[in-house]
Chain A
Amino acid sequence: MSATTVRELDPAPPPLAPESRPPAPARRRRIPRLLLACGALVALLLLLPLAFLVLEAVQDGWSTLHPLLFRSLTATLLWNTVSLTVVVTALCAVTGTIAAWFVERTDLPGRRIWAVLVVIPVGIPDFVTSFGWKSAFPSLGGFAGAALVMTLAVYPLVYLPVAACLRSADPAQEEVARSLGLGRLKTFWRVTLAQVRVAVLGGCVLVALVMLAEYGAFEILGYRTFTTEVYTEFLSGFNAPAACALSLVLVVLSLVVLTGEGLSRGRGRQSKAGGLAARVPRPHRLGRSRVPVLAGFFALVGLALGVPAGAIVYWILHGGSSTLPSASIFSAAWHTVFYSAAAGLLATLAALPVAILSVRHSARPTRWLERSTYLVLAMPGLVIALALTYFSERYAAGFLYQSSAMLIAAYAIMFFPLALVAVRASVAQAPPGLEEVGRSLGRSRMEVLWRLTMPLVAPGLAAAFCLVFLEAVTELTATLVLIPTGAQTLATQFWAFQSNISYGQAAPYAGLMILIAAVPSYVLGRWFDRLPSRAVAS
């Protein structure tokens, strides 16, 4: 027999940071039926275009689709699309990552200004960038031209997440690597790159999806991809089976990109430095390499921002005979703002139930619901527009076709995932625990909603609205298909003028479009800047 010595059965764990405790009550809540119904309805509506596409394919039958799919045109388009996508994605990954590292981690002179300048090109629609280059260098085109222009237009999609990741990554990991005997280059390769890997991948997926969906830029540069071909089929008397076959390939390619990203993420997790305690890393000294690096940044910003912006300004100033933009610019601007604002509102509202379900009632069915909405990402805007068109023509006798409602709905579907990301973040700003405290202080449910939840959630909802608005203002492809008869947006009017090589008349439309898009960009920037401190506080 032996004596028993017992101390605490439950030794006190080390003090937990506030964020580290999982939100336990979530699993306990019963999912409200009405909310679940709303969420399911939204998911269903979002997946309608995909359903239409599949329906069409099934009705056409394999015997119709087979010859359309297996012809030399398909092979050419496949090669064009995939090779360009791979090259541009790789170029963007390298450019975006290196630029982000120099801006965030070195003593590059003028870091703050570069941080802004390097990002601005993302606010210029790709077809405008492409227009700028083409008007400056009329001979530009083909694979090399498309690769150059698209890389310059979309590399910020990699830069932004990588820069954000570098800012929040734990610099101590690099110091540990150095203390373990790794040199500067090896540390970058084995530690820094590992830290930003997920961010780079995320950015690359965005780039690849943009590449698959892009129409305007390739049309201007005379480069044929699946998307340009689908649009050509649509213009030349809407050959439904052919458009359907090509669209299917596009959707499959997009799905490959999306699932590939999920698989390559791996199981590793990057822990971030804890909230307020995150130390600002000491910037690497560039020393002698300062001059070539600076020259590189001048070249990048000059090409990505200087050329398109310069071209627009040039054409506005030297626009030839037509001195002033016609009155139609105001009507076009009005339509642009109206459609985009309506789409922003609709997408934000639709994202609310899905976001609330996924944040507050996380369970298997709600997770699937949320995930299913991301399938929309696999549908290029043109495919969504065509699916809606096709459906209204075939099953609804043209009902709603080329109506404002359908255009707005198409925008809302296309940009729903963007809205969801922002709304989700904003719902997470108001954890249920806060509402419980509010209630226990003797305040009614409505009053708590008004005084607590709304103020916490509102900035995020505004951000979601801005994000969708911004994208819709600069949308071209789906707009060309669905624009109501007699109406013009800035993008479609710009497109009409530039197709006639009336560069002078087209340029003011591009300029105004970018100005309108700049306002929500500014609001968004403010929101993202405020986000971390609030997240820590709650």
Chain B
Amino acid sequence: MTELAITGLHKAFGTNAVLTGVNLTVPTGSLTAILGPSGSGKTTLLRLIAGFERIDRGTISLGGTVVDAGGSTVVASERRRIGYVPQEGSLFPHLTVRKNIGFGLPRGARDGGRVDELVALIGMDGLGGRYPHQLSGGQQQRVALARALATRPELVLLDEPFSSLDPSLRAGVRADVKRLLLAAGATALLVTHDQDEALSLADRVAVIRCGQVCQCDTPEELYGAPADTEVAGFVGDANLVPGVFVDGSVRTAFGDLACHCRAGAGRTDADAVVLIRPEQVKLCPLGPACRLAGRVLEREYHGHDCVLRVKPDREDGPGVILARIAGHVAYPVGCPVGVSVEGPVLAWSVEARAPGLEPTAAGHESP
């Protein structure tokens, strides 16, 4: 059974069309992330599902029941049994932790076992009498989640729940939230603009762009086989190099590479765009066996690994290449290196590329 199903959803604010035909299904018990750049309509989608706004066209159904079909058929947000965790937690400032968690429960149960259970679950025994302003950001976020889970909702919506947290706290709270959602067995939908967060946390990731879901897959599928070059760049670092299809593989400056093909590819002699993830780029000390020689331009050291910008020596070859290598391998800036690629790679025929993405050599930005 499908828990949440959205078909052909349209929403505009005045003349500003925000969502233009969203299709999305979220299976029971899964944690799905909606990933998109700022202003792509992620939060609007969440608010529509929660029932804080009305959709213009399309349908939203929950467990087989239509809750909003754009006309008069609308189930009020308090009847949808959807838990909502806003970006800043939005704890009720005049209520203690316990009363916040118990807010949605029936009158008799507001101070009962369910509240104890949740206070224990979020590891805040003894802090139940505190007020929100006496809590840290991470604690507030956990209370907000417990409050949403208290009524055992069918679905929990989380709106960028970690973006207001300190980076050092984020990983910990993320793990906590995942554990809590698993423990509650809840279906959850999470909105984020952080690809790292989406890939590491979710069972499925839906990439939203220009008001539509352009791909919804498991994190592995999304990273390994993005629908187009833009998605490829959005979910991680990407080298996009030119190539030509030759008999089921693709010929590039790095040699012929085994390839998976996306839409319309495979015709021999057709021009291709090839996706090479930085971790597929291998460097070696320069020697006669090297097919392509280059020079290290920049080096960004992260401890566990190291990202290098390498400029191939060949004038007609690809431009600057990003390579991610183990942190302990030392190639200083200016060092000559041999460059090779470990396949298989993903390739699109040039015509099938997503519009609006002009190749730029300086696409690599330091975070």
Contact = CB atoms under 8 A, between A and B. Distances in A.
Interface of A: 1-13, 15-18, 21, 24-25, 27-28, 276, 429, 431, 433-434, 436-445, 451-452, 455-456, 533-534, 536-538
A93 to B, nearest CB: 35
Contacts of A3: 239-242, 318-321, 359, 361
B83 A436 contact: no
Residue picked from A8, A12, A437, A443, most chain B C-beta under 10 Å: A437
29 contacts: A2-B319, A2-B320, A3-B319, A3-B359, A4-B229, A4-B240, A4-B241, A5-B309, A5-B362, A7-B237, A8-B233, A10-B38, A10-B193, A12-B163, A12-B367, A15-B164, A17-B164, A25-B52, A433-B90, A434-B92, A436-B50, A437-B84, A437-B86, A439-B51, A439-B77, A441-B104, A441-B148, A537-B133, A538-B90
A4 B86 contact: no
B82 interface: yes
Given A15-B164, A443-B103, A7 B233 contact: yes
Nearest to B53: A28
B56 interface: no
Nearest 3 Cβ contacts at the A-B interface: A441-B104, A6-B233, A2-B319
B174 interface: no
B242 A8 contact: no
Contacts of A456: 92-94
Interface in B32-63: 36-38, 43, 47, 50-53
Contacts of A24: 43
A534 B240 CA distance: 51
Nearest to B77: A439
Contacts of A429: 93
Interface in B61-117: 76-84, 86-88, 90-94, 103-104
B104 A12 contact: no
A9 B234 contact: yes
Given A1-B242, A5-B322, A443-B103, A537 B91 contact: yes
Q: Is the interface of B mostly helix, strand, loop or mixed?
A: loop
A15 B169 CA distance: 11
B151 interface: yes
A7 B363 contact: yes
Interface of B: 13, 36-38, 43, 47, 50-53, 76-84, 86-88, 90-94, 103-104, 131-133, 147-148, 150-151, 163-167, 193-195, 229-230, 232-234, 236-242, 309, 318-322, 357, 359-365, 367
B132 A4 contact: no
A2 B318 contact: yes
A458 to B, nearest CB: 10
Given A2-B318, A5-B239, A5-B321, 4 more contacts: A7-B363, A10-B36, A18-B164, A436-B50
B140 to A, nearest CB: 9
Contact of A440 (B84, B229, B236): B84
A5 B364 contact: yes
A200 to B, nearest CB: 30
Given A5-B364, A12-B193, A12-B367, A439 B78 contact: yes
Contact of B230 (A2, A7, A9, A452): A9
Nearest to B102: A441
Contact of B37 (A9, A276, A439, A452): A9
A286 B234 CA distance: 59
A276 B140 CA distance: 15
A205 to B, nearest CB: 32
Nearest to B316: A1
B37 A6 contact: no
Nearest to B89: A18
B367 A11 contact: yes
Contacts of A27: 13
A18 B88 contact: yes
Residue picked from A442, A445, A456, most chain B C-beta under 10 Å: A442
Contacts of B364: 5-7
A443 B83 CA distance: 12
Given A28-B13, A442-B78, A4 B88 contact: no
A4 B88 CA distance: 37
B4 to A, nearest CB: 15
Contacts of B36: 10
A537 B91 CA distance: 8
Contacts of A455: 94
Contacts of B150: 441
B360 A440 contact: no
Contacts of A433: 86, 90
Nearest to B50: A440
Given A12-B194, A15-B163, A15-B164, A4 B363 contact: yes
B69 to A, nearest CB: 20
A434 B91 CA distance: 7
B327 to A, nearest CB: 19
B83 to A, nearest CB: 7
Given A3-B240, A5-B321, A440-B83, A536 B133 contact: yes
Contacts of B53: 28
Residue picked from B93, B104, B194, most chain A C-beta under 10 Å: B93
Nearest to B167: A15
B83 A441 contact: yes
A533 B133 contact: yes
A7 B365 CA distance: 7
Contacts of B92: 434, 437-438, 452, 456
A537 B367 contact: no
Contacts of A21: 87-88, 164
Contacts of A9: 37, 230, 233-234
